[in-house]
Amino acid sequence: MSKPTKAQLAFAATMSCRQWAALNVLHPKLTLSLSDRLDPELWALKANGLAKVATAGDAHAWDVTRQGEALLSMRRRGAI
């Protein structure tokens, strides 16, 4: 598991409960609804390197990155 960068840790400190919940459920081939795909909070996860998105036509498949997994693990342990 890759360590999160200082910038990712700083972003994690500002993440909303919804962002944490979304990051926690991301897995390969998770397709979001149109309203979710338009949500800037979710795109902030990608912009900060915690999620990645593959597109095929109109479908957006989301996945958590290794840094995102590391942040989730740190949060579960109470480290952040």
pLDDT digits (tens, 9 = 90+) for 45-63: 999 999 988 877 777 778 8
Residue whose token pair is 């949500």: 39
pLDDT higher than threshold 90 for residue 77: yes
Q: Is residue 30 part of a domain?
A: yes
What domain range is 33 assigned to? 6-76
Whole-structure pTM value: 0.81
The secondary structure of residue 79, as a DSSP letter, is -
The first and second tokens of residue 43, run together, are 């795109």
pLDDT of 3 strictly over 80: yes
Domain count, the chain: 1
If pLDDT is split at 50, 70 and 90, which confidence band does 79 have? very high
Instruction: Pick 29 or 17 by higher pLDDT.
Output: 17
Q: Is residue 25 part of a domain?
A: yes
Give the tokens for residue 49.
């390197």
Q: What is the pLDDT at residue 28?
A: 60
